[in-house]
Amino acid sequence: MNLQQVKVNLLEKKAEIESRLERTHKHIYHKDEPVSANFNEQIKQTENDELVRALEQEGREELRQINKALQRLDSDEYTLCTGCGGEIGEQRLLAIPYTDLCIECASAADS
């Protein structure tokens, strides 16, 4: 499989998540806008913050997995399963480029 293309895809995804994290971070800490003095508006903002925080968490986890995948690409272990040492399989890597488990090990981990 074309690992160079996989790497390009991962780097693109990484840049996308990083810019998203930057936006959510700004949103959480209200760097661009002063916190509203209106009470109802504040409540709404708080609820929104929780949502954004959850998104930020999710983004950080994705970023962690992508960085791990990029390291694996550089060490030539990218296509090998960390569970059993077998080949992960091209179709699976194309579908989930940051996975480090083959389909058997992943389904074993899920159950």
Contact residues: Zn ion, CB under 5 A = 81, 83-84, 102, 105
Q: How far is CA 45 from CA 48, 54, 94, in A?
A: 5, 14, 39
- How far apart, in whole angstroms, are the C-alpha atoms of residue 84 and residue 100? 10
- Judged by beta carbon, residue 56 or residue 100, the one nearer Zn ion is 100
Give strand pairing partners of 48.
Answer: none
The distance of closest approach from Cβ of residue 45 to Zn ion in the complex, given in angstroms and rounded to an integer, is: 45
The distance of closest approach from Cβ of residue 67 to Zn ion in the complex, given in angstroms and rounded to an integer, is: 21
- Judged by beta carbon, residue 6 or residue 105, the one nearer Zn ion is 105
Residues in the chain: 111
The distance of closest approach from Cβ of residue 79 to Zn ion in the complex, given in angstroms and rounded to an integer, is: 11
- Judged by beta carbon, residue 66 or residue 81, the one nearer Zn ion is 81
Residue 82: name the closest of 59, 98, 64, 62 by CA: 98
